[in-house]
Structure 1
Amino acid sequence: MTERLPEAAWTGREDLRALVAAMGAGNARYVGGAVRDTLLGLPVKDIDMATVLRPDVVMQRLSAADIRCIPTGIAHGTVTAVLDGGPVEVTTLRHDVASDGRHAVVAFADDWREDAARRDFTINALYADPETRDVFDWFGGLDDLAARRVRFIGDPEERIREDHLRILRYFRFQARFGSRPADEASEQACATLSATLKGLSRERVGMETLNLLGLSDPAPTVRRMAELGVLEVILPEADPEGLERLVEQERRQSVGPDAIRRLAALLPADRTLAGLVAARFRLSGAQKKRLMTAADRSETPGEARPLAYRLGREAACDRLLIGGADIAPLAGWEAPALPLRGGEIVARGIASGPDVARILRTVEDRWIAEGFPDRARVERLLDEAIDG
């Protein structure tokens, strides 16, 4: 019996119907994540389409149908159709000519199975006819999807040698879709070829690592990566137990996943080291600052509100959750502003300069320690600081 793609919000889009009509009957099929996630009943973010048509022909047909298109990766056969409901990448069928594990040389093809064979996992090599919604599966992807099994197409080592990043993609997909026990051949290939990750750009490794850490519960997968020797290649400083403790705290306190916070939990409490990891993964300036702030922590993070006042809400939540402390005191709380300015101290006869800064800091420290009292109490604290 032929499997059919269930109806979903995206399958009924009028702009997609117009795209399919422009491509011509039988010339295009949906492929990859949109098909996989729809079969699983999950929301679909991105829609990809494969076609037997060459890129120049795709662009001609879309232009004739008044559909805006962009040659986003035309050398590799990809044209992006800009639709009202969101862009759709349309890629000509391909087969690999050569690959060094980082970059592939491809040639256009006209065989659907040949195109499927060059993909990474069986669950990503599912195609669907946009008109009949019939699903095409040459490598057991439907069975693997039903079993929640992440498995390379064909020889796992061969697939990895074509693109070394597939090691990290495997673990990300395992964390998102997989069940236990995992596919033994896939795991063993990842372990055997883990050293090839050293040849990838640090930015690609960092991005894939953050994608993994941003999933619902990556802790068991990260633990398995450590056991297989893969984690040591990309993040030798990591301690899976730190991530496991954080994920448990997030679950207990109903906090959503956050990749940077989880990366911080994997690392020792070492600000300098966190900065080096941020540089290694080519993180943004804001991400680096946050990672280093989270790493600059003690065993006891302290009270929630004083911490949030000094560091900001996000940084305080990072430290509290990593330290196993409660973030409930921050719910709905906005950090107040100190109701005192340096000019008021000068007006009391204190000369501008270090003494003003010292008195202001003394008052602020006591104001924080007392739970941010009102203006009247701040004035008394100021009197005491000046008299003292």
Structure 2
Amino acid sequence: MSTVRPIAPGAVRWIVRTLEEAGYETWAVGGAVRDALMGRTSVDWDLATKATPKQVRRIFSRTVPVGIDHGTVGVLARDGVMYELTTFRRDVQTDGRHALVEFAERIEDDLSRRDFTINAVAWHPLRDEFYDPFGGEEDLSAGRLRTVGDADQRFKEDYLRILRALRFAGRFDLKIEDVTWRSLVGLAYRLQTLSPERIRDELIKVLSIDPSPWRALSLYREAGVIDVLYPEIGALREGLWDDAIAVVNALPVGRPKLRLAALLRPVVESDAVGLLVRLRLSNADTDAVARLASATDLPSADLDPTLLRRWLSRHGRAVMRGLSRIEIASARSGRGSKNLRMVVDSWSRLRAELRTSPPLKVDDLAIDGGDLKKMGLKPGPVFGEILNELLEHVLEEPQRNQKAILAHEVEKILQRRSVKIDGEADSL
């Protein structure tokens, strides 16, 4: 077994000691143990115990029923952190999406139902003892990802494990064992039976926490998962795909929406929006990602200021910031048409223009609908048409965004439209 030893927080040892003294075997399991074997630090400690949720809640005074129907109780420890304790379980029935479980007596039963060997290693914080019945530590040492037991059976129990396999292999730079790979490729079509939310959450995890998401995304494509779940992206020709994932890879962790927008920039706008809706992102996130994905490139720094203001008026500050980051990542990846100096110059020119506080949208105009009513116009579609025409006027000459000047412009607009400024004026 590895010479690398986990270092559990004192609160974890206290919880384990309390349960063991009460007669309930308890182990640390999951990501914290796996990460320790890889020499990584983990802050998420999950515990598996023989105690039932009812018994856990009787032993500890501060608990939270975070998933009590599935045997999970959160214990608020002395350090103020909540640690999740789950009763040993075994699967009774599965349908590819959900599992019916029952409580078990042994840690062996609990580990045998887990997805991959690297996640089926337990560690006892008091005895400093590993329990690894499926060779997870050996697989980690060999850089290998393998299912616990029969691969087909594991994936058929929950098809989400296909996506988890690709995410783990990408994040930890593991080679998926041949039998496991053939099984997940053969069953990839069954991913369509999963809920959009579960599919979305797996993709967001790849884009959020993986410092090199290109590996997992490349596996998505190689396994045929992209074609099953995201055909809009799968339709990209090789060069566009390579460019997109190179840019995604150059963007920072913790920015999943920015990375998703970069991935979707080569996709036709209507297809990108359809994909985002299918993922069931919030309306606000769908709008933000779609606008960034479909935005035209940053304008050249040597363009006329009017054109710069028109670009800002169309896209806004948020898109400017996000697109600047994407184009900088593109330049750094060596896949873009612009070098870093060109992108920075464009960004600097746009920022300089913003510092002058130009009117960029109708709400910035010195005249509004109330003023048009005072001029004798009846509310109607004409209001929007006039205000948009005024906006075009001040985008060319921002200094003319003054009420008196714009009122005069309204008169000229109405004269061109043959509309009289009186109480009987048509609302067009």
| Corresponding residue to 1:81 among 70, 75, 95 | 75
Answer with 1 or 2: which has the greater Rg.
2
Counterpart amino acid of residue 17 in structure 1: R
- Alpha-carbon distance change, 82 to 226 in structure 1, aligned in 2, over 3 angstroms: same
Partner of residue 138, structure 1 = 133
Match for residue 26 of structure 2?
Answer: 28
Residue pairs, 1:185-224, within 5 angstroms: 185-214=179-208, 215-224=210-219
The percent of aligned pairs where both chains have the same amino acid is: 32
| 1:315 aligned partner, one-letter code | V
Amino acid at match of 1:162: E
Moved more, 286-295 or 302-311: 302-311
The letter for the 1-side match of 2:99 is A
Partner of 1:275: 273
Matched, 1:363 2:394: yes
2:247–2:262: 8 Å Cα contact kept in structure 1? no
Q: CA deviation at 1:213?
A: 2.7
1:59 corresponds to 2:79? no
In 2 relative to 1, CA 316–95 (structure 1 residues): closer, same or farther, beyond 3 Å?
same
In 1, the alpha carbon distance for the partners of 2:147 and 2:16 equals: 30
Q: Superposed, which structure 2 residues align to 1:212-291 within 5 Å?
A: 212-214=206-208, 215-238=210-233, 239=236, 241-242=239-240, 244-249=242-247, 255-256=252-253, 258-267=255-264, 268-291=266-289
Aligned to 1:296: 294
Q: Is the partner of 1:90 in helix, strand or coil?
A: strand
The two structures, once aligned, show a CA RMSD in angstroms of 3.4
SS in structure 1 at match of 2:176: coil
Q: Retained in 1: the 8 A contact 2:88–2:106?
A: yes
Instruction: Supply the AA of the counterpart residue of 1:6.
Output: P
After superposition, what is the alpha-carbon deviation per residue over 1:65-92, rounded to whole angstroms, capped at 9, x for unaligned? xxx1122222221111123342111001
Give the gaps of 5 or more residues in structure 1.
368-374
| Partner residue, 1:6 | 6
Change beyond 3 A, Cα 1:12–1:198: closer
Q: Which runs of 5+ in 2 are unaligned?
A: 302-307, 331-335, 378-382, 414-428
State the distance in 2 between where 1:295 and 1:50 align. 43
User: Are residues 23 and 200 of structure 1, via their aligned partners in 2, closer, same or farther at CA, if it must alter by over 3 Å?
Assistant: same
Residue 110 (structure 1) aligned to one of 95, 105, 109: 105
Call closer, same or farther: CA 1:109–1:356 in 2, change over 3 Å.
closer
Q: Could you report, residue by residue, the CA deviation over 1:151-182 in whole angstroms, capped at 9, with x for unpaired residues?
A: 21111111001111101111111111133x43
**How far 1:257 sits from its partner (Å)?**
6.0
Given that 1:2 and 1:135 are in contact with CA atoms closer than 8 Å, whether structure 2 keeps it comes out as no
Give, in whole Å, the separation in 1 of the partners of 2:318 and 2:241. 18
Equivalent-residue separation in structure 2 for 1:175 and 1:314 (angstroms):
31
* Aligned partner of residue 96 in structure 1, secondary structure: strand
| Number of positions where the alignment pairs a residue of Structure 1 with one of Structure 2 | 364
Moved more, 198-207 or 260-269: 260-269
Helix, strand or coil at the partner of 1:237: helix
Shift of 1:24: 2.1
CA distances 1:357-380 after superposition (whole Å, capped 9, x unpaired): 53443222455xxxxxxx6x989x
In 2 relative to 1, CA 365–91 (structure 1 residues): closer, same or farther, beyond 3 Å? farther
C-alpha distance 237-250 of structure 1, shift in aligned 2 (>3 A) = closer
Go from structure 1 to structure 2 and tell me whether the alpha carbon gap of 1:355 and 1:277 turns closer, same or farther (over 3 Å shift): closer
1:366-377 matches, cutoff 5 A: none
In terms of mean alpha carbon deviation, does 215-224 or 280-289 score higher?
215-224
Q: 1:238-279, CA deviations, whole angstroms, 9 ceiling, x for partnerless residues?
A: 137545424534666x64463333333444443322221112
| Structure 2 counterpart of 1:178, from 157, 173, 178 | 173
Hey, what's the Cα distance between the residues in 2 that align with 1:250 and 1:226?
Answer: 15
1:90 to 70, 74, 85: 85
Residue 380 of structure 2 corresponds to none
Separation (CA, whole Å) in 2 of partners of 1:37 and 1:314: 37
CA distance in 2, matches of 1:279, 1:343: 37
